[in-house]
Structure 1
Amino acid sequence: MLIRILVLCAGLAAVSACGRRDLDEPPVDMGNFRLGLNIAVADKAEKVPISRTASEEEWEAAITDAIQQRFGRYKGSKMYNIGISVDGYALAPPGIPVIAAPKSVLVITANVWDDAAQKKLNAEGKQITLWEDAGANILGSGLIRGRDRQMDSLAYNAAKRVEQWFQENPEWFDIQSPAPVPETGSDPVVVAAPPVEPATAAGPSVN
């Protein structure tokens, strides 16, 4: 089922996207947040057949690096652990006519724990669908970007959307001034499909 949804997503233009790099700007208020464990797993990731291929290790490295860059900036008083499961992806291949150019898509499931309390803060994993930035979505990223840059863009958007999800739940981190949630390359509303059972990793690392 996830593959079918990814195929549909990859052939549609994103309704919202964000290519803005904001890591050099002052970070938003994240209350008492400090990054503890940063875990990504991709052993159960499903790939759309027409997609370029990326290994489990490459996805895990891309996600953990993006999470570290974004959340390593926060120096709060409590440790929180982030777990990301890569559920599926489509990395647009080159050589496709513009009129049918697919879009690169990433589906993740995110979880967060209070490290000291050893308590998971979200009742269920948060599944999020990410797109690349606007420039790639106009032409189809396979025509203008290599595979590594596609992965970097998707991982960046994934980390940013997780940060926004945290902002939507200020009570988890004692956030006093939640930032407005901007539009990003994520969660398009153009796909109607039955509920997807999120992929989960073996062991307690991300569940």
Structure 2
Amino acid sequence: MTTDLSRRAFAGLALGGLAGCAASDPLTEAPRDMGDFRLGLTIVVADKVKKIPPSRDATKEALIAAMTAEIDRRFRRYDGAREYHIAVAIDGYALAPPGIPIVLTPKSIMVVTANLWTADPQEKIRGPEQLTTFEGADTLLLGSGLVKSADEQLATLARNMSGKIQAWLLREPETFGLPPR
């Protein structure tokens, strides 16, 4: 009886901890300074995407829609003087299937290749840069396959990846008229 109660308590604490570790929403964070950046086009392709086993299935259309939506959410709020295009090729993904808590907790992952273009004149100024992201700490003990749908996993991966893209862009802040770090 005590062991059963302990298991339930542990599961409750773990699930409660998951709620606190969700991917942060870029719209609730203070925006990072992006200088003269203004998003022109968001170009996302998944022509050569590979599913990394073990993984739930995702269509190319779902991958593209999730990534496009999260790039737009993060970058459309900037209204700098110069227009830039972000181009992303989704190279690979894994959406964690359900596992065995603590023993087997498959992780969700996304791999992309990103490029940055100026709109006028139209030229590639950064990239290609291959970036990888995981869902995050909220999947450490249980694995997201037990607590999230494939769509929720994909949305989290896309949100995390848009943050990685921003961090990559800001590694060279002078690109956007900001002082070097």
Q: TM-score w.r.t. structure 2 length?
A: 0.83
Q: What is the alpha-carbon distance in structure 1 between the residues aligned to residue 22 and residue 175 of structure 2?
A: 26
Unaligned ranges ≥5, structure 2: 1-20
Q: What is the root-mean-square deviation of aligned Cα atoms in Å?
A: 1.6
Letter of the aligned partner of 2:174 in structure 1?
A: E
- Structure 1 gaps of 5+ residues are 1-16, 179-207
Which residue does 2:15 correspond to in 1?
none
Q: CA deviation at 1:172?
A: 1.1
Task: Name the larger-Rg structure.
Answer: 2
Secondary structure of 1:112's aligned partner: strand
How much has 1:26 moved relative to structure 2? 2.3
Equivalent in 160, 164, 177 of residue 163 of structure 2: 160
SS, match of residue 125 in structure 1: strand
Supply the distance in 1 between the matched residues of 2:86 and 2:165 (Cα, whole angstroms). Answer: 9
Higher helix share: 2
In the alignment, the residues of structure 2 paired with residue 85 and residue 92 of structure 1 have an alpha-carbon distance, to the nearest angstrom, of 21
Distance in 2 between the 1:18 and 1:89 partners? 19
Alignment TM-score, normalising by the size of structure 1: 0.73
Structure showing the higher strand proportion among its residues: 2
38, 43, 46: which one aligns with 1:42: 46
Q: CA 1:18 to 1:166, structure 2 compared with 1: closer, same or farther past 3 Å?
A: farther
Identity among equivalent positions (%) equals 43
Structure 1 runs of 4+ with >4 Å offset: none
Correspondence 1:61-72 to 2 at 5 A: 61-72=65-76
* Cα deviation, residue 162, structure 1: 0.6
Match runs of 1:108-147 below 5 Å: 108-122=112-126, 124-147=127-150
Mapping of residues 87-126 of structure 1, within 5 Å:
87-94=91-98, 96-98=99-101, 99-122=103-126, 124-126=127-129
In structure 2, give the amino acid aligned to 1:83: A
